[in-house]
Chains A and B, each alone.
Chain A
């Protein structure tokens, strides 16, 4: 028997700034893919011109979410030191699993089994996808016990994945959904995005706290490492975008959007933005709104209902002295 003393997580005493806030926000926005009627897209899908691109976009996203579930959040949770933060990462991981599964839900609704099998084969063969998965997974797998530098690197990579690398894929459903094409699949994506944006902010916030503890020299070293990684991933992302979007003519728009999000990812970890500001397609920008847009009873399920905060009704509830 080892002589490690196990500590229980005590939520009554905050040990981590904002862990509770991130926890609450994540649970508040719980959702399941089955709540969205993707089947309403089937009719449009049948005559949709760029099916190949669309399917591959989703297959690529599936891979990233799989890496993030199985390796990313697990590894970070394992090596993070604060018990409340560990819990938050574990919850994030669970949501990543929902995301990865939700793409399958869309595939099941829109594609045949053969098509689905081919897609998962394509994922294994696409060099750019494999490159980014390997790159990030390696950093995750190299976290060492007690080495906060390696943990910071993993958190940095996690933010790059969630706030930057996803967006070459998110672009397409947002772009189409904003024009009334395959709206329900886009709704799924906007729900995933809503989660990823918390993950990016939260992991980035924890990474920044860690970063502050490093010496000036170490900080400079890690900053160089960070930008190097980003540039490396960026080059790969540009190639991936060209490969994926070739037949649609959308490459330049996707790339602008990727740069916009790379800047956001850098800001999440407390780094300076790297790419000059440029115009991003407004239809896609409007797709990332996190508030519920206005729906009515004939429309899709809105994304704006969440868990209730329960408080008991008391005698005071019936007191309207100020009003009546």
Chain B
């Protein structure tokens, strides 16, 4: 047995049995890991020149991007990276990096890259010959910026996957479109992507086909086809593709859709590995509040009547019109409270479906004049406009619309509070993300390629909130924590806009449709320019560190600049759940509370024990575990962040099995009322038997 695994496991075992954290065991595990595993496999190179020559000649690195720089500069960059004296802070970070990110020889025997080497290669690759940007990229990544996994993993490699891995597709109500989109799913899955598909516009079970009644099979069989496509295309057996399907809650197939994830669902409708999400317009909550029935519709009727697809209209605005129109069938009436209770039951039993609050998304959508946001992605943080492609018969050309690919990156909030120039950090991150979007060409999915070319959307997010709060003595969910996230995200929003404006100015180009956006007409900035400037508490100011507090005057100035030069990126921010990348950096995930002080992480084929960053025997009380955080406080915190994020934030809710479906419904309703755009998983902690008996006796 490997001694480092035993040592790493001992951290948890000791913590469980004695309540004491023995971090030296984890440090020892890391040390042993290097001695027993890494150092013996690490290929030795005389110098950087030899290293690069070898890796290029052997076909590990692409040659082209390296040739864009002169060797002296590259050497200087390596030195710069190594001068940070980086050390992996935990066994988790070291093993995650060497298991999954470092370049290895083809037979898997030799390790060809250390952490610093990977950072330099990412910087050189993404900077595309811009030496200044490459240098800034090394600084940013050694300090506080982390590109998402596909970018971090694939940059510079000759045999590589794509740099982006998040896609949204929109299916139309025709066999051509269904077949075409299944093809896209196979392609994107092969590239390692997570794909979201909107099924809202498909006609439901029992609808007519060519006017013949009772012919359509509905959305579930299509979902099954997608599920099979994702499992088939599995990156050489590395990992299965992943996908999510979305459906509007007013769609006539909604009941089957909700039950499809339950473990005891009928095999014919059961979705075993595909994720599900529902889109909920505000009218649903209003009807539920008044204890009314809701009426389910068919997108087939809506399209026939109004020439628009179900996902292209606001159901909240159109609901009464649809009810009054005799040519729109009222397919089924359901009590809204009962239906929502079914949703809650399914969430308890399976964690699904995700929920997207349609009007919360679209009311503040900066591109609302260009189109509606109709769905989200696999982690519910991407919320972008789409336009349907018209897929024709094989003898006619298709008319491609806009679908979505998104490339992500995250800022470590703790390190960001310490960098010399926060604005520069954000600008570097935005430029790297923008370059990724420019370098990405998904040729086999034309609607994605087209959108990428026109929209340059990116998603800059954050991580390590809980970790940072612990270092500041702030309790997660407290007033101070909410004030902190509010201030931080406002600054991030401000500087990402500023950066996008600078890029537009330099390139003399904006994203497609900028003129019609809320940025161009200035509406977007109103609430910022007119904001009431309250002084922050001392503890918040200390926690923000070097992150500037943005004043109304600064916003006013920025609004002017944006009006003049435009923005290069149609979307800028999205807060991802950050799995692996937060592990490499020893961060807590996203802006979420940590689920356990000492976490057991099962990831694909390994189990690793991960004591939370900065955790020690004295601050353990600050690491209140997610299940013990008041759910309403958690939602308030996310709502404070959401105000400053043009897209979404992956928000998981944490409950125990003592909760009822009603209590769960209540926190979702609260989230909707607070302007939250999406809810990702519900995670449930099962009480153990000892706890149950303890509360009985």
Contact = CB atoms under 8 A, between A and B. Distances in A.
Interface of A: 18, 21, 24-25, 28-32, 35, 43-44, 177-181, 183, 197-198, 201, 281-283, 285-286, 289-300, 304-315, 317-318, 320, 323-324
A178 B661 contact: no
A309 B661 CA distance: 6
A312 B602 contact: no
18 contacts: A25-B689, A44-B605, A177-B607, A180-B607, A201-B693, A281-B1, A285-B9, A286-B607, A293-B600, A297-B242, A297-B379, A305-B349, A311-B660, A311-B661, A313-B340, A313-B662, A314-B662, A317-B666
Interface in B1-30: 1-2, 5-6, 9-10, 12-14, 16
A30 B349 CA distance: 10
Given A283-B6, A297-B275, 10 more contacts: A25-B689, A282-B14, A285-B16, A293-B602, A295-B603, A299-B602, A306-B684, A308-B345, A312-B662, A320-B673
Contact of B692 (A25, A31, A44): A25
A51 to B, nearest CB: 18
Contacts, number: 162
Given A43-B237, A306-B348, A286 B9 contact: yes
B351 interface: yes
A3 B267 CA distance: 47
Contacts of B609: 286
Contact of A297 (B2, B194, B237, B688): B194
Contacts of B237: 43
Nearest to A187: B602
Nearest to B344: A308
B58 interface: no
Contacts of B263: 30-32, 35, 305
B341 A313 contact: yes
B102 interface: no
Interface in B639-684: 657-663, 665-666, 669-670, 673, 683-684
Given A177-B607, A297-B194, A323-B632, A312 B337 contact: yes
A266 B602 CA distance: 32
Contacts of A292: 683-686
A294 B601 contact: yes
A296 B239 CA distance: 12
Given A298-B239, A310-B660, A313-B662, A291 B685 contact: yes
Nearest to A293: B600
B678 to A, nearest CB: 15
A293 B10 CA distance: 16
B200 interface: no
Nearest to A34: B272
B516 interface: no
A286 B662 contact: no
Contacts of B670: 320, 323
Given A310-B345, A318-B669, A294 B599 contact: yes
A195 B205 CA distance: 40
B662 A311 contact: yes
Nearest to B633: A323
A282 B291 contact: no
Contacts of A201: 689, 693
What 3 pairs between A and B have smallest CB-CB spacing? A308-B348, A311-B660, A180-B606
A193 to B, nearest CB: 12
B617 interface: no
Given A179-B607, A180-B605, A297-B242, A282 B660 contact: no
Contact of A290 (B272, B683, B688): B688
Interface in B512-547: none
A101 B120 CA distance: 53
B275 A18 contact: no
B28 to A, nearest CB: 13
A250 to B, nearest CB: 9
A29 B263 CA distance: 12
Contacts of A320: 670, 673
Contacts of A32: 263
Contacts of B603: 295-296, 298-299
B378 interface: yes
Contacts of A24: 692
A197 B689 contact: yes
